[in-house]
């Protein structure tokens, strides 16, 4: 059984356009900046799957990043209301009375207080250093292709199935059978050619429905730069991924 690539391209395009348009229409207050087809590996495997659709907005990205920051604070215990240095006094049960064993010499108290102050300062210094490192990392990597901004699996709308069974299984079986007969590399190359064409079409059709220039691409870590160059316009490459711009010879 062969693969009708023209029919497959149209099936993916229509399904992706419908799902994406629905998400965008349901959130008119948000600025959608990217849409991606992902989940198709170029590495040889037992079958060739249909792609997943992902979308993200500027607002969803910011909200998810804030949520991750709060989760980090929770893990570090920085959202607790209790004083970290709080502990029950050993003499609290009997007010106004102190037994001899609970009396601390003044010089011992001063030394203990000094030790606690030094420990607090060391902790604050370490927290400040860690916070500075985190801020630098976020500033350097926040908009790179390998950041959460451009990683479809990290997006708010990250895994929308384009085709349901049995249709998805029929397409998958057809491509897998073709790869068995004619080779994995040639089949997956033709498949990615189809996905790139879909991404280009989605950008053209959805740009009228978005408030910002929509970046549409096929995501695959092994061929990320090449796929971006195939899917994005020259203006988008310069704006979002200037490191990929080829120097003029």
Give 97-112 pLDDT, tens digit per residue: 434 344 445 556 556 6
Q: What residues contact 177, with CB distance under 8 A and at least 6 apart?
A: 1
Q: What is the Cα–Cα distance from 204 to 117, expressed in whole angstroms?
A: 62
Task: Tell whether the model's pLDDT for residue 170 goes beyond 70.
Answer: yes
Mean pLDDT of 74-86: 51
Helices (H), ranges, the chain: 5-26, 58-75, 106-141, 167-182, 184-206, 224-231, 234-240
Q: Are 227 and 241 in contact (CB under 8 A)?
A: no
Q: Where are the domains of the chain?
A: 5-65+143-244
pLDDT at 24: 96
Comparing CA positions, the residue from 191, 172, 189, 198 lying closest to residue 36 is 198
**Of 22-31, 48-57, 107-116, 142-151, the least confident:** 107-116
Comparing CA positions, the residue from 191, 185, 200 lying closest to residue 233 is 200
Sign of the Cα pseudo-torsion (185, 188, 190, 192, in order): negative
As beta bridge partners, residue 37 has 53, 218
Give 60-72 pLDDT, tens digit per residue: 999 999 987 766 6
**Of 120-129, 148-157, 212-221, 233-242, the least confident:** 120-129
CA angle, corner 184, sides to 180 and 186, nearest 5?
115
Six token digits for residue 246: 């080829």
Q: What is the Cα–Cα distance from 64 to 66, expressed in whole angstroms?
A: 5
By CB atoms closer than 10 A (0-12, 13-18, 19+), residue 213 is: middle
Six token digits for residue 238: 């310069």
- Cis ω for the linkage preceding 166 (within 30 of 0): yes
Give the alpha-carbon dihedral of 233, 236, 241, 247, to 10 degrees: 60
pLDDT at 246: 56
- Cut 0.75: pTM above it: no
Strand pairing category for 215-218 and 32-38: parallel
Q: Are 62 and 73 in contact (CB under 8 A)?
A: no
Task: State residue 95 phi and psi, 5-degree precision.
Answer: -75, 140
């Amino acid at each position: 059984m062969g693969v009708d690539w023209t029919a497959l391209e149209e099936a993916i395009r229509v399904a992706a356009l419908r799902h994406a348009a629905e998400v965008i229409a349901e959130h008119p207050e948000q600025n959608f900046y990217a849409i991606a087809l992902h989940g198709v590996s170029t590495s040889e495997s037992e079958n060739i799957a249909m792609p997943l659709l992902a979308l993200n907005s500027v607002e969803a990205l910011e909200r998810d990043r804030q949520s991750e920051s709060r989760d980090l604070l929770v893990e570090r215990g920085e959202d607790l209301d209790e004083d970290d240095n709080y502990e029950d006094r050993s003499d609290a049960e009997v007010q106004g009375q102190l037994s001899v064993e609970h009396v601390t010499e003044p010089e011992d108290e001063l030394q203990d207080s000094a030790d606690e102050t030094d420990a607090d300062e060391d902790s604050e210094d370490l927290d400040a250093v860690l916070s500075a490192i985190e801020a630098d990392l976020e500033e350097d990597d926040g908009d790179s292709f390998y950041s959460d901004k451009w990683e479809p699996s990290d997006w708010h709308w990250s895994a929308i199935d384009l085709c349901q069974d049995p249709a998805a299984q029929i397409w998958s079986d057809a491509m897998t059978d073709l790869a068995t007969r004619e080779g994995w590399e040639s089949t997956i190359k033709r498949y990615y050619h189809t996905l790139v064409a879909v991404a280009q079409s989605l950008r053209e059709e959805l740009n009228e429905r978005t408030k910002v220039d929509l970046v549409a691409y096929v995501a695959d870590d092994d061929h990320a730069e090449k796929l971006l160059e195939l899917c994005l316009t020259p203006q988008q490459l310069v704006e979002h991924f200037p490191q990929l711009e080829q120097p003029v010879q």
